[in-house]
Amino acid sequence: MAASALDIERNPKFKQLVAARKSLGWTLSVIMLLIYFGFILLVAFNKDLGNFLGTPLYSGAVATVGIVIGLLVIISAFVLTGIYVVKANKRYDELTRQIVEESR
Partner 1 sequence: MTRIKTLVSGAALAALASPAFADAIAGGAQKQATNWTAIAMFAVFVVFTLGITYWAAKRTRSAAQFYTAGGGITGFQNGLAIAGDYMSAASFLGISGLVYTSGFDGLIYSVGWLVGWPIVTFLIAEPLRNLGKFTFADVASFRFKQAPIRVMAACGTLVTVAFYLIAQMVGAGSLIKLLFGLDYAYAVICVGVLMIVYVTFGGMVATTWVQIIKACLLLAGATFMAFMVLWQFGFSPEALFAKAVDVHPKHLAIMQPGSLINSPLSAISLGLALMFGTAGLPHILMRFFTVADAKAARKSVFYATGFIGYFYILTFIIGFGAIVLVSTNPDFLNPALVAAGKNGIEAIRGGNNMAAIDLAGAVGGNVFLGFISAVAFATILAVVSGLTLAGASAISHDLYATVMKRGQANEQDEIRVSKIATLILGVIAVVLGILFEKQNVAFMVGLAFSIAASCNFPVLLMSMMWRGMTTRGAVYGGFMGLMSALVGVIFSPAVWEATLGNPKGSALFQISNPALFSMSIAFLGIYIVSKLDRSKRAQRDREGFDAQYVRSQTGIGAAGASAH
Q: Can residue 23 be called a binding residue for partner 1 (CB under 8 A)?
A: no
Cα 104 from Cα 97, distance rounded (Å): 11
Q: At what angle do helices 12-44 and 65-102 cross, to 10 degrees?
A: 170
Q: Mark 35-56 as b/e (b = at least 16 C-beta within 10 Å).
A: beeebeebeeeeeeeeeebeee
| Rounded distance between C-alpha atoms, residue 28 and residue 38, angstroms | 15
| Contacting partner 1 within 36-95 (CB under 8 A) | 36-37, 39-41, 43-46, 51, 53-54, 61-64, 66-67, 70-71, 73-75, 77-78, 80-82, 84-85, 88-89, 92-93
Contact residues toward partner 1 (CB under 8 A) are: 1, 5-6, 8-9, 14, 17-18, 21, 24-26, 28-29, 32-33, 35-37, 39-41, 43-46, 51, 53-54, 61-64, 66-67, 70-71, 73-75, 77-78, 80-82, 84-85, 88-89, 92-93, 96, 99-100, 103
